[in-house]
Amino acid sequence: MGLAVLLAVSGRSLLRYDGSILVMLADGDDHIAAGRRLLRTWLALAEHGLAVHPLSQLIDCPVTAARLAERVGGKPLALFRVGRPLAAPTRSARL
């Protein structure tokens, strides 16, 4: 599928190791509920000291999105790498 090469290039230096790739699948057409699930997932991972690196470029491309959907058996809503960060993330200036 070529996905491994794309993932390896897209952010390897951000984590202490290659990290795990998580795919969140769409569950119906309720985009608000899906957004809440995504945010809760990211916050739960952060609570455990894990960093999240979105890989949305892979699902923005129709060809790779279709191939990924075949592979995971559903429509990908979000795709991200998770792992321990090399350095503390820079905090946003937003409130």
Residue range 50-61, pLDDT digits in tens = 888 888 888 888
Q: Has residue 44 been placed in a domain?
A: yes
Range of the domain at 27: 15-83
Average pLDDT value for residue range 20-44 = 88
Confidence of residue 15 (pLDDT cuts 50, 70, 90): very low
Pull the structure tokens for residue 14. 């951000």
Higher-confidence position of 89 and 71: 71
Quick one: CA dihedral 75, 60, 38, 11, positive or negative? positive
Q: Has residue 1 been placed in a domain?
A: no
Total tally of structural domains belonging to the chain:
1
Phi, psi (rounded to 5 degrees) for 76: -70, 130
Q: How far apart are CA 60 and CA 63, in angstroms?
A: 9
Residue range 61-70, pLDDT digits in tens = 898 889 989 9
Q: Has residue 78 been placed in a domain?
A: yes
Q: How far apart are CA 66 and CA 13, in angstroms?
A: 27
